[in-house]
């Protein structure tokens, strides 16, 4: 299947332009292999519609992140793709099969890490992983090395004798991930895999995800940590059951701000400077708000924020124009807005309400330390 634009998302996205999906041949000259294809997925529970017309595609060798606040339909989407739920509308194919009727061959290729802890609280860490391995035809009596490897990966080997019940929330997440990876799946569904993990371990997991990706595996992850979008190859932003935008993180950032963002700090900023750069080719806008005065914390003047089509090409022209206008430029650089800012902008452009703070999490503000 080939799809450049997610029709449902584009129709409702209004001003949000959904970037074209990558269909070009990769470095090896082969077209990407479709692992997940969802088209117009809908899900209702009674009269409550929790997912509206979600479409996406995940290829082999790709990390796809479904990002959105709590209740935006991320987990429902995963349940639909795993076959736990049947869609109320739309079509989904995973590894070429309908999730409602997965063959054992396909099931063996899928790993699933649920949002909550659904393993066996009375068993030890090692026994839990062994039990999960057994379900995937990886008997523990022939795969002790594999079990140790995944426990090492999630740094739980030393806790292998502890009962799952006695683990902290973060350790339980790691255990769930180990259980999902123990059979070396080709496709990993992971619902909030990094929730409650410390930054170091989170970094290790993302590193492992990238290794999986580089090995040709496909990963569909959800997260409430907006900044984790940076780690994904492609991101789908969901909000209130809808896909607001989909694309590479960099593309989404550009879409949110209307182009590249260049910040130029000048001495004594004035309207003359704004006018000097505002008329240049490739300049889309100059933020008026930044001319308001000095930064109260640093005491320095706030920079001019200029939205351009291409920062690398625009910066020399901008500097020249300012110099011509008599400005003394202190600093110049491309501003990379944090992804939560991108996300908020996209929602606002979509006409939605700003999501409540508690529903959007960033690691800097919402991290719960992992005792391990």
Partner 1 sequence: MRTLTKILSVAIKELRELLRRPLLVLTLVLGPLAIMVAFGIGSDARFPPPRVIIVVPPGQERPRLLRDYEREFQQSISIADYTSDEEHAREQLRRNRVDAVLILPPTPYETIARGEQAEIEVVYNEIDPARRWLIPDFIRSMASDINREIFLQGAREQRTALEDSSRELDLALRGLDTAISAVGRGNREDALRAVQGGAQGVANLERALELLGPQAEAIRLPVERARARLDQAEERLAQAEDVLATPDPRPPSEQLGLAQTRRDLARLQEALEQFTDVPPEVAISPLGVRPEYTARLRPDLVVFFAPVMLALLVQHTAVSLGALALVRERLANTFELYAIAPISPLQLLLGKYLAFVAFTLAIGGTMLVVLMGGLGVPVFGDWWRVALVVVLLALSSVGLGFALSLLASSEQQAVQFAMLSLLGIVFFSGFALPLDGLRMPALVFSYSLPATYGGDLLQDIMLRGLPGSLTFLLILAGLAAGLFALSLGLLRWRTRAA
- Torsion angle (degrees, nearest 10) of CA 358, 363, 366, 369: 150
Q: For tokens 């701000």, what's the residue?
A: 257
Tell me the three state secondary structure of residue 296.
coil
In the complex, minimum distance from the CB of residue 360 to partner 1, in angstroms, rounded to a whole number: 25
The C-alpha atoms of residue 195 and residue 21 are separated, in whole angstroms, by 28
Comparison of 166 and 364: residue with beta carbon closer to partner 1: 166
Task: Determine the size of the site formed for partner 1 (CB under 8 A).
Answer: 38
In the complex, minimum distance from the CB of residue 163 to partner 1, in angstroms, rounded to a whole number: 7
Q: Does 88 bind partner 1 (CB under 8 A)?
A: no
Q: Does 135 bind partner 1 (CB under 8 A)?
A: yes
Q: For tokens 């700090």, what's the residue?
A: 265
Q: For tokens 């292998």, what's the residue?
A: 160
Segment near partner 1 (CB under 8 A), from 94-102, 195-203, 246-254, 341-349?
94-102
List the strands of the sheet with 187-191, edge to edge. 110-113, 187-191, 218-223, 62-67, 234-239, 242-247
Opening angle at CA 330, ends 325 and 332, nearest 5: 90
Segment near partner 1 (CB under 8 A), from 2-10, 76-84, 228-236, 308-316?
76-84
DSSP 194: T
In the complex, minimum distance from the CB of residue 2 to partner 1, in angstroms, rounded to a whole number: 28
**Position among 50, 60, 67, 132 found at the interface with partner 1 (CB under 8 A):** 132
Q: Does 119 bind partner 1 (CB under 8 A)?
A: yes
Q: Does 116 bind partner 1 (CB under 8 A)?
A: yes
Tell me the three state secondary structure of residue 262.
strand
User: Which of 129, 49, 47, 34 is closest to 81 using CA atoms?
Assistant: 34
**Position among 3, 12, 93, 108 found at the interface with partner 1 (CB under 8 A):** 108
**Position among 20, 139, 215, 316 found at the interface with partner 1 (CB under 8 A):** 139
Q: Kindly state the tokens that stand for 184.
A: 């070396």
**Position among 19, 68, 73, 83 found at the interface with partner 1 (CB under 8 A):** 83
Encoded one letter per residue, x for contact with partner 1 by CB under 8 A and - for no contact, window 146-185 reads -----------------x---------------x------
Q: What are the φ/ψ torsions at residue 74 (nearest 5 degrees)?
A: -65, -50
The C-alpha atoms of residue 153 and residue 89 are separated, in whole angstroms, by 39
The C-alpha atoms of residue 266 and residue 248 are separated, in whole angstroms, by 33
Question: Of how many residues is the chain composed?
Answer: 372
Q: Does 75 bind partner 1 (CB under 8 A)?
A: no
Q: Does 220 bind partner 1 (CB under 8 A)?
A: no
**Position among 3, 10, 140, 338 found at the interface with partner 1 (CB under 8 A):** 140
In the complex, minimum distance from the CB of residue 107 to partner 1, in angstroms, rounded to a whole number: 4
Binding site residues, partner 1, CB under 8 A: 79, 82-86, 99-100, 102, 104-105, 107-108, 110, 112, 114, 116-124, 127, 130-137, 139-140, 163, 179
């Amino acid at each position: 299947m080939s799809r450049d634009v997610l029709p449902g998302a584009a129709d409702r996205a209004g001003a949000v332009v959904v970037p074209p999906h990558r269909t070009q041949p990769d470095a090896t000259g082969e077209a990407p292999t479709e692992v997940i294809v969802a088209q117009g997925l809908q899900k209702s529970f009674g009269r409550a519609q929790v997912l509206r017309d979600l479409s996406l595609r995940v290829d082999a060798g790709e990390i796809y992140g479904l990002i959105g606040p709590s209740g935006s339909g991320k987990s429902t989407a995963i349940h639909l793709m795993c076959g736990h739920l049947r869609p109320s509308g739309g079509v989904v194919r995973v590894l070429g099969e309908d999730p409602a009727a997965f063959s054992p061959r396909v099931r063996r290729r899928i790993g699933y890490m649920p949002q909550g802890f659904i393993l066996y609280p009375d068993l030890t860490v090692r026994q839990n992983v062994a039990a999960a391995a057994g379900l995937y035809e990886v008997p523990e009596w022939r795969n002790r090395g594999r079990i140790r490897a995944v426990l090492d990966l999630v740094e739980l080997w030393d806790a292998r004798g502890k009962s799952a019940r006695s683990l902290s929330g973060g350790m339980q997440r790691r255990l769930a991930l180990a259980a999902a990876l123990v059979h070396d799946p080709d496709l990993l569904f992971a619902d909030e895999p990094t929730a409650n993990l410390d930054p170091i371990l989170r970094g290790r997991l993302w590193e492992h995800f990238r290794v999986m990706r580089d090995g040709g595996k496909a990963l569909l992850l959800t997260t409430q940590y907006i900044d984790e979008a940076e780690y994904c190859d492609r991101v789908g932003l969901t909000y209130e059951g809808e896909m607001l935008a989909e694309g590479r993180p960099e593309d989404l950032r550009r879409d949110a701000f209307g182009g590249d963002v260049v910040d130029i700090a000048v001495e004594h900023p004035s309207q003359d400077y704004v006018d000097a750069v505002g008329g240049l080719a490739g300049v889309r806008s100059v933020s008026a708000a930044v001319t308001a005065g000095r930064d109260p914390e640093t005491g320095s003047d706030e920079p001019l924020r200029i939205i351009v089509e291409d920062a690398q090409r625009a910066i020399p022209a901008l500097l020249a124009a300012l110099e011509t206008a008599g400005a003394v430029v202190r600093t110049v650089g491309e501003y990379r807005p944090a992804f939560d800012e991108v996300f908020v902008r996209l929602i606002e452009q979509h006409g939605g309400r700003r999501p409540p703070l508690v529903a959007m999490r960033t690691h800097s503000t919402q991290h719960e330390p992992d005792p391990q």
